[in-house]
Amino acid sequence: MITTVPFKILSIGEEGYHLMIKLYINRKVANVIIDTGASATVFDKTRILKYVTDSSMVVEHDNLSSGLGTNTMKSQFTTLKKIKIGELRIEDYKAVLLDLSHVNKSYHQVGLTPIDGVLGSDILLKHKAVIDYAKQNLRLKKR
């Protein structure tokens, strides 16, 4: 079975475009960008507090993360009880948390809504994602 999720194409100035979708984390709407080059789905370590009820669920991680313009970013993680992307439900997702404030600062400068995270290749690959630019939607296979 396939679920189809619409996305918006955002112009980020001279740097190009990003694709933004809405998904739900614990029944609350979150804005994330689709990033086929991201190895994992990540969420902003500050903005995630809107979606988890207990900040003690956020745990420090010893490893440094690379990507998103840096390789010196400390990461944290938390377990999200439920992520819903269209009709796809992912339960007990171990989410990586990074400081995405530099992304949101850039978004603010060009008048865009802040993002809560980045939908990466871990979920895209597992659910055989198809990005249809003409129809402006993301298709994911549900298990």
Kindly compute the dihedral angle of the four CA atoms of residues 95, 99, 102, 106, in this order, to the nearest 10 degrees: 40
Asked if 131 and 19 touch (Cβ cutoff 8 Å), the reply is yes
Q: What is the pLDDT of residue 68?
A: 47
Q: Tell me the longest C-alpha to C-alpha distance in the chain.
A: 43
SS3 141: strand
Q: Is the distance from CB of 116 to CB of 26 less than 8 angstroms?
A: no
**What integer pLDDT is reported at residue 62 of this predicted model?**
55
Instruction: Indicate the SS3 state at residue 105.
Output: helix
Spans of the chain below 50 pLDDT: 56, 64-66, 68-71
Helix (H) or strand (E) holding 121: helix 121-126
Please give the model's pTM, rounded to 2 decimal places: 0.86
Q: Which domain holds residue 28?
A: 2-141
CATH code of the domain in which 48 resides: 2.40.70.10
pLDDT of residue 74: 74
Residue 60 is predicted with a pLDDT of 65
Q: How far is CA 86 from CA 21, 36, 45, in A?
A: 10, 18, 24
The number of distinct structural domains making up the chain is 1
